[in-house]
Structure 1
């Protein structure tokens, strides 16, 4: 059994969880901070992967609830998109539980590097339009399934994929992308967390401390959900930390 986190570790978990929750709602990349942090604090990679889902669930609950209270919701359409994502996430967790720690760490460094590069790319200014049921074509559902597989496997940078599909392909404005994204992430992460729990890959003390911070960060992010400009500076807030984390992972 992993020992309980020290007071200093607890404070770090809450602080980084807060930053990650804020980032995940407004943009993407929060798990690029929390997953490596859990590994640095001594959790094996697969346990860190499962434990990270605790904070993802709680921050998503916080964000969805707060979006609902301020009148921003897309429940019906989000539920439709969430169905293939849930199926995909179960497959993703199944795969994650079967790879070695070395392979998982290699995948983590690779996706962090790719996500960081994508975060640096400027978002094109697109003419957006509201999402309707008629626009949910089979390729869109297939894309949601693929995002679910990826999210179930590692979660890191999954928000970047949502931005590619929902903003760049479907041309939904970024403020609404954030609303739909956090709802779908909540729906597919619940069964994913259940599978990690079933396989004893979750450490609640670490996960709940992260969740305390991430819920606070998500609550704040909902109140500054301002579309394209609201997410621009968030990328630069995290890139320096992400580079440092990648170097630490590469150094073993």
Structure 2
């Protein structure tokens, strides 16, 4: 690893950590970057989770410090997500690089479409208690989200935001605080699977963790509504370029 790679990882990691907490989709930048820097897809997948773990620890601490910390709902939804992530991680380890890259590219294009079409959360929405039925639906949803997160991780923030937006009237800030709790637990469980299988590059992972940690702190401090428009534009452009490169290999 040379100094240019270190600076690139820190820059992309900080930006990715920021948008991961504010909205989601940061792994759509960090995962392809690690692959482009020469890591096999399974190793890039596992290495990315080292940084995500650090990012979410810092974000959880900051959300809690500012009074946004629904640990009960966060832990409840984390349980099925963790179970799903273990399943997804084992699948990810066995997938050939070429197949993984094509799947990731397709997912990127789907996320771009979701970004463009996703409605903005109304500021006047109020908090409400989730019914038992909605909690069951969320539990099932988060199990399959965990499978996807263990397999790819990229874009799971959007899935969490969309699920909680459709099934509750929680504010977007509260949803994001729950998102970082759930993400921490299922990413940590999937990281164990990647570590045991030897699919983690610790040098890349620790450098990226510094960037993601800084971004997680900045993102949890940032007003979501103010940053939404320009983050979407930049993300759409960068993800489009990376998806085309992964898909066509140029």
**TM-score scaled by structure 1?**
0.93
1:242 aligns with 2:243: no
Q: Deviation per CA, 1:112-155, whole angstroms, max 9, x where unpaired?
A: 11011101114155563325354553111101111111111110
**TM-score scaled by structure 2?**
0.94
Q: Which runs of structure 2 are paired with 1:38-187 in the superposition (5 Å)?
A: 38-126=34-122, 128-132=125-129, 134-135=131-132, 136-187=134-185
Distance (whole Å) between structure 1 residues aligned to residue 68 and residue 169 of structure 2: 18
Distance 1:37 1:139, change over 3 A: same
Distance (whole Å) between structure 1 residues aligned to residue 196 and residue 7 of structure 2: 28
Distance (whole Å) between structure 2 residues aligned to residue 158 and residue 122 of structure 1: 14
Instruction: Please list every run of at least 4 consecutive aligned residues from structure 1 whose deviation after the TM superposition is greater than 6 angstroms.
Output: none
SS in 2 for 1:34: helix
Partner of 1:203: 201
Unaligned 5+ residue runs, structure 1?
none
- Count of matched residue pairs: 247
Distance 1:174 1:230, change over 3 A: farther
Distance (whole Å) between structure 2 residues aligned to residue 243 and residue 192 of structure 1: 27
Distance (whole Å) between structure 2 residues aligned to residue 232 and residue 71 of structure 1: 26
